[in-house]
Amino acid sequence: MVDGYYPYLIRPDALDVWMDPEVRNRLSWYYEVMNGYKPAKYLICKRVGINEELDLESMGEEELWNLHTGMRDEFIDVFRCIKDGDIKLSDLETPKTSFLDIKIELVYRLISPCRLCEHRCEVDRLGGRRGFCGLDSVVRVGSAFTHLGEEAPLVPSGTIFFTGCSLKCVFCQNYDISRDPFNGVVVDARKLADIASSLYRRGVRNINYVGGNPDQNLHVIIESFRYMTDNVPLLWNSNMYMSKESLELLLDLIDIWLPDFKYGNNDCAFRYSRIDRYFDVVSRNHKKVYDYGSEIIIRHLVMPNHVECCTKKVLKWIADNIPRVLVNIMGQYRPEYMVVRDSERFRDIARRPTRDEMRAAFEYADRLGIVYKPVS
Ligand code: SF4
């Protein structure tokens, strides 16, 4: 471990947080994988499958999804047995065609025509076309490093920032990579696996796929798991505007989710992020991840003048629909990017949230019984 104890001197709460029974309980799978007691889900996906070499390239997409559905059932059985301690990963043989192989084949079908996110541009990205996110099939990494600023249970986090994004937020703090898909180093699946492994060797608690946004880069990310062997939790740090199909591929691979849930309605989302059906899509995806039994820390950014229409609506939806998550209620909003360049146009969000606004957010979360203090 190159980084040694240094991260925990900077962030002692990264150790203390595990004394909290709510955190231990709600992030129990992540905790077990982080400590090496259980294998990361992607490693299980490599051991589930059939002992026959299938010619996946010649199969139709529907046939592949049917195979995926069948292997999902087997994956869930195996996962439960491993979680309960009935079997170990080493008890399982490596199949000739694995669940991960099916996922890799499917994700390449999903980018040409592209349906990775709910924009569903249907452009031929493998043929060099670009959609709303500005990306063709080439994946670029803006930076990758040990991050000490994430939520306490996640620190130190092995963060990989991808370029491009499916949202166009006028206040984006990472606009240098989200709006400029070329602002990074080109990576293929092997190179990306090397980056993840080198972060792991530095003692990180997880590999954190973020951006920009990771969803548009799903093909190379999922393929990179073929070349990874490290037992490290995989973390998906997304705007959650992915398509149903992308989410199906991710559900069995991700050990802990760190999704954004910004807006409480579609109108605010369209105004500030140029996105249709935001609330419908993002709430649908959160519910799906939750119902699958995944562990989740939701990030909600409190925006000035948006406590009633967004913060309270998001928190209420969480309390009603996915109550056993942790929520980071974030006060870090600051005017950035277009809000600074055109502050007259975006006057209502051209300041930081006030103390009263943050207090209103916390008090409302308390009333709803939301667990936010250990991660906010
Ligand atoms: S990832 Fe989304 S925005 Fe980008 S091309 Fe595909 S469907 Fe369009």
Q: What is the pLDDT of residues 327-349, one digit of tens each?
A: 999 999 999 999 999 989 999 99
Distance (Å) from CA 216 to ligand 1 centroid: 6
| Residue 4: band (very low, low, confident or very high) from pLDDT cuts 50, 70, 90 | low
Residue 220: CB atoms within 10 Å: 24
pLDDT over 50 (residue 1):
no
Answer yes or no: are the C-beta atoms of 259 and 236 closer than 8 Å. Answer: yes
Ramachandran angles phi, psi of 21, nearest 5°:
-60, -30
pLDDT at 125: 98
How much is the average pLDDT of 266-279? 97
User: Residue 272 half-sphere exposure, CB side, CA atoms within 13 Å?
Assistant: 24
Residue 61: CB atoms within 10 Å: 12
Domain ranges of the chain: 6-37+133-375, 39-110
How much is the average pLDDT of 239-261? 98
Counting ligand 1 atoms within 8 A of each CB, the residue from 109, 110, 112, 117 with the most, and so the one to mutate, is 117
Distance (Å) from CA 245 to ligand 1 centroid: 13
Atom in ligand 1 nearest the alpha carbon of residue 164: 4
What is the CATH number that goes with domain 6-37+133-375? Answer: 3.20.20.70
Residue 273's nearest CA partner among 349, 173, 175, 170 is 170
Distance (Å) from CA 325 to ligand 1 centroid: 28
pLDDT digits (tens, 9 = 90+) for 183-229: 999 999 999 999 999 999 999 999 999 999 999 999 999 999 999 99
pTM of the entire structure? 0.97
- Summary mean pLDDT of the chain: 96
Indicate which residue's Cα is closest to atom 6 of ligand 1.
Answer: 114
Q: What is the DSSP letter of 93?
A: P
User: Residue 280: helix, strand or coil by DSSP?
Assistant: helix
Task: Tokens 């909003």: give the residue.
Answer: 333
